[in-house]
Amino acid sequence: MKKQKVTFSKNQLRRLPIYLVFLKKCEAAGIKYINAQIVSDSLGFNKEQVRKDIAVMSTVGGIPNRGRDVSQLIRDIEKKLCINTYKSIIVGCGSLGKALLNYKNEEGMGLDIVAGFDVNNDLINTKVNNIPIYDYHCMVGMLPELSAQIGIICVPSAVAQGVVDELIDNGIRAIWNFAPTYIRVPKGIILSNVNMAASLAEVSHKLSLLDK
């Protein structure tokens, strides 16, 4: 009988990395077993939500009065997330780009930034977190040797689409967009937008509800 493929909602996919980081900290602290109540209390999630998430993620049942094996649960989540380390480049190394270049990726979420590109002469041929920053005009010629698959966009909105088009035309398969604008990509290219304005609006709205 063919095994049924498990699919996750967008909200579940957002929670999985949070679970993973938490569980890895538990493992590092020597915790062997964990249950939904502990996860719920620690992360502030609804207990029933956590219970359902864990049930979907787990390949092995829990032990009565002990819970799930932490190491096994970590392996299960990593397998569900299909975490691989893909080489990435950042285009636009201003304040936000530098912050991403300085990201230490201690959680092992598959981010390996190999280079940055910019048009600012003060940044070109410098390094941030030991990652070199090159002239944007040299980017196309360098992409084959860098073997990057993810393009991280931190440029002004006016030029973002042109940068994305150039990256895709030269082999980039996924775009992680931090530019505050709508980006179009062809079918088969992965696009993830980080919309800070939308996130801020959500926070402000929720805060306003508390004041009522």
Q: Are residues 48 and 132 in the same domain?
A: no
Q: Are residues 65 and 98 in the same domain?
A: no
Domain end residue (candidates: 39, 65, 81): 81
Q: Are 178 and 191 in contact (CB under 8 A)?
A: no
pLDDT tens for 58-81 read 888 888 888 899 999 988 888 877
Q: Is residue 206 part of a domain?
A: no
* The total number of structural domains that make up the chain: 2
Q: Are residues 115 and 172 in the same domain?
A: yes
Residue that wins the pLDDT comparison between 142 and 13: 142
Q: Are residues 42 and 129 in the same domain?
A: no
Q: Are residues 98 and 69 in the same domain?
A: no
**pLDDT > 90: percent of the chain:** 57
The residues pairing with 193 across neighbouring beta strands, listed in sequence order, are 177
Q: Are residues 68 and 91 in the same domain?
A: no
Name all contacts of 68-77 with Cβ < 8 Å and 24+ positions apart.
Answer: 68/33, 68/34, 68/35, 69/32, 69/33, 70/23, 70/26, 70/27, 70/31, 70/32, 70/33, 70/34, 71/27, 71/32, 73/23, 73/34, 74/20, 74/23, 74/24, 74/27, 77/16, 77/19, 77/20, 77/23
Distance CA 207, CA 210 (A): 5
pLDDT at 126 over 90: yes
Q: Is residue 60 part of a domain?
A: yes
Cα 170 to chain centroid, rounded: 23
Residue that wins the pLDDT comparison between 13 and 49: 49
Q: Are residues 161 and 106 in the same domain?
A: yes
Q: Are residues 188 and 95 in the same domain?
A: yes
Domain end residue (candidates: 81, 103, 132): 81
pLDDT at 108 over 60: no
Q: Are residues 62 and 130 in the same domain?
A: no
pLDDT at 175 over 80: yes
The amino acid at residue 115 is A
Structure tokens at 198: 């939308």
Determine which of 5-14, 19-28, 54-63, 127-136 has the lowest per-residue pLDDT on average.
5-14
Domain end residue (candidates: 20, 47, 81): 81
Instruction: Please give the pLDDT value at position 163.
Output: 97
Q: Are residues 72 and 131 in the same domain?
A: no
Assign 9 a pLDDT band (cuts: 50, 70, 90): confident
Instruction: Please give the pLDDT value at position 204.
Output: 82
Q: Are residues 15 and 61 in the same domain?
A: yes
Q: Is residue 75 part of a domain?
A: yes
CATH of the domain at 125: 3.40.50.720
The amino acid at residue 13 is L
Q: Is residue 64 part of a domain?
A: yes
Domain that holds residue 129: 86-198
Assign 206 a pLDDT band (cuts: 50, 70, 90): confident
Find, among 47, 149, 130, the residue nearest to 89 by Cα. Answer: 149
Q: What is the mean pLDDT of the chain?
A: 87
Residue that wins the pLDDT comparison between 4 and 83: 83
Average pLDDT, stretch 109-124? 90
Q: Are residues 175 and 155 in the same domain?
A: yes
